A and B are shown apart, each in its own frame.
Chain A
Amino acid sequence: MLPFDMRPDAVMQELTNYGQKLSHGMKNLMEVGEISTGVTPKTVVYREDKLTLYRFQNPNKDAITSKVPLLIVYALVNRPYMTDIQENRSTVKALMDAGQDVYLVDWGYPDRADRYLTLDDYINGYLDRCVDVICERHRVPKINILGICQGGTFSLCYSALHPDKVKNLVTMVTPVDFQTPDNMLSHWVQQVDADLVVDTLGNVPGEMLNWTFLNLKPYQLMGQKYLGLLDTLDDPEALKNFLRMEKWIFDSPDQAGEAFRQFIKDFYQQNKLLKGGLEIGEPVSLKNISMPVLNVFAEQDHLVPPDASRAMRGKLGTKDYTELSFPGGHIGIYVSGKAQKTVPPAIGKWLDERS
């Protein structure tokens, strides 16, 4: 048999359809209007430098069943509105529906004046002060923390350094072993001179990280994805959703130089969180994590391979350790319909059982 079964007239029809979709899509693009993100109402409860601590407003106070507030700690890379990207795709909203009183740390956009911020400043400084603010507001000695991706790694470090302030810890798509064989990012940076990068650039441009992430799957992320867009161009809502995701993907804050240097060297190049020897103000030992831990990871995660998260198992000081595996990718775990129905409710239930 021949490898092709394409009739010329069918191919021509395919191309004609392509053109039609393109032109109709252009009409929809003209009318797309503002692209909103971060949809759930929230109030500012604390500000410091570029950091903002938000509390999400639950219109129904009675719906908050948890007595312990939950703080979401997002990564420095990309923006935290991914967790609340649109009405029907909001991890935040789903957590609120699960009875949680949700706070969120927004690290903001560091500029050159923030170049000397270290991981110590971020974790023992900013994050610790946010936790204090929440503890004071609620008059509780401990809160629940949900760390996402790099924010999950920060949360692990924080919990190890301040176990007296964390009631329960949830990590989502969080790397612990930074050198699993399938970790492409880690493989790439092993011979990159992180000192040269930071000494030269100061802060590391967000665009630089963007293109690095896109290069993980260049043909899909820079080509096929856009061709796939054609199939949804005639649907204004689908186009809007696509543009919303694009906005998020390319909305990358610069990385404070010193924090970036330490993260690359200590975590990616020397894997100190797992192997030991990590110091963030003080020595960080995963064995200090004595509170209950829920480790949520995505099975098809191309940024944080599941094994990078699973490595947590057996390394913590707690006896109450649970894993939740989600059949999806790094982003799908927040925005897919299936994730919305399963992940936040499971987190809420797990927290309620321990709060």
Chain B
Amino acid sequence: MGNTNNWMDNWLDSQQKYWNAWADMAQRGMKAPEAPKSPMQEGLNQWWNAVSSMAPPVGREVFDRLMDVSKGYFSMAERFMAGNQADPQGGLEAINGWLDGMQKMWTDWSQSGANFRPDAFFPMGQMKGLTTFWDLPMDTWNRLAANVVPMPGDFTQAFHPEGAQPMRDQMNKFLSIPAVGYTREAQEQYQVLAQKQMDYLAAMQAYQAAFGKLGVETTQAFQKSLQVRAQEGKPITSLRELYDQWVEMSEQAYADFVMTVEYQTLYGRLVNTLLALKQQMARMVDQTLEAMHMPTHAEISTLQCRQQELRRDNLKLHKEIKGLQAQIEALRKAVLQPEQADEAAEEAPKAAVKKAAPAKRATPAAKAK
């Protein structure tokens, strides 16, 4: 804990110095020197790397997420501040520069048909942290895909834009070779697998391209909203306000887009192609297991299905037996009640003993039924 406090103090101290230096430059009207890396983000990273191992499991993920968001937030702040120093328009130039950069990235990306790799468009760490803001829907998909297919992250991220088309061409050539010979079936399975991969890759790229377009629209909507605020005399007065405005505009643009038929088709195709790929993988794994005389997934699935059917039948029979027992009990009572009533009148103390007898007489009635 003492160690943690030291790290916290050091980090806060360095942070304070950093901002003091910024303030000093701002007061003197100096332009801040270009830094290839973001000092705030780096500081944050160092601090979190040092203390995160001491964080309890409870809440660790929450803080991880908070750190990711913080990096993006600090990056936004630094971009804003970097242009704000000598900007007579109070940061407008900086924001516009930032948003123009974002628009260029989205446009280039959506036109390239490549996967989203901001570093391909913004080298030198220029966009570091910012994608935490812009990439949230894709980030959630990547997590989902990683959960479904046993590959680290979304494996399509490994396909570089410049290599995507040649790879597709090569794959198509490979897939056009007819499977022949002793291993024909195995070859066909691999060809099907490759085709499923290609299908998923194409679906993924179409999905991402649509998000590139959405990125451009979101950026424009954000810029427009800033203009509206200026016209209405409601300027943004804090970074947090700026961030909240961005969230509002992003969420609105996103909500409009994901309710279109275009998105419905893209999403359906993305999910279906991913699962078709996974299904083919499972099929091939099963073939290998079968060759090794091990139980396959399909066999276990069949057993599970039959077991459930048996359980269902069993429960149904239980219920029927219970119902029949209740009927027998009701019949028994109906048959015996008059006797009991008579006996009770004659010999009240023996009533308890007499009660047991009818059970024997009730049995034939149940059998006859």
Contact = CB atoms under 8 A, between A and B. Distances in A.
A112 interface: yes
B133 A223 contact: yes
B289 interface: no
A187 B269 contact: no
Contacts of B85: 8
B250 interface: yes
A26 B272 CA distance: 42
Nearest to B252: A219
Given A15-B40, A218-B137, A246-B62, A208 B12 contact: no
B236 A242 contact: no
A42 to B, nearest CB: 23
Interface string B121-136: 0000000000011001
A184 interface: yes
Given A187-B264, A219-B136, A202 B237 contact: no
A247 B70 CA distance: 21
A275 interface: no
B336 interface: no
Interface string A21-51: 0110111011011110000000000000000
Contact of A32 (B40, B58, B237, B282): B58
Interface string B106-118: 0000000000000
B348 interface: no
Given A15-B40, A35-B58, A202-B301, A6 B264 contact: no
How many interface residues does chain B have, given as a range?
A: 35 or more
B301 A192 contact: no
Q: Secondary structure of the A side of the interface?
A: helix
Nearest to A24: B8
Contact of B271 (A117, A197, A218): A197
A239 B90 CA distance: 36
A5 B81 CA distance: 13
Interface of A: 1-6, 8-12, 14-16, 18-20, 22-23, 25-27, 29-30, 32-35, 112-113, 115-117, 121, 125, 184, 187-188, 190-193, 196-197, 199-202, 205, 207-208, 211-212, 214-215, 217-220, 222-224, 226-227, 229-230, 239, 242-243, 246-247, 250
Interface of B: 1, 4-5, 8, 11-12, 15-16, 19, 22-23, 26, 40, 47, 51, 54-56, 58-59, 61-63, 65-66, 69-70, 72-74, 77, 80-81, 84-85, 89-92, 95, 132-133, 136-137, 139-141, 143-144, 147-148, 226-227, 229-231, 233, 235-240, 242-244, 247, 250-251, 254-255, 258-259, 263-265, 267-269, 271-272, 275-276, 278-279, 282, 300-301, 304-305, 307-309, 312, 315
6 contacts: A4-B237, A15-B74, A16-B16, A193-B271, A223-B69, A224-B243
Given A26-B51, A217-B255, A219-B250, 15 more contacts: A2-B89, A4-B91, A4-B242, A6-B84, A11-B84, A15-B74, A113-B304, A199-B279, A208-B147, A223-B133, A226-B66, A226-B69, A229-B62, A242-B62, A246-B62
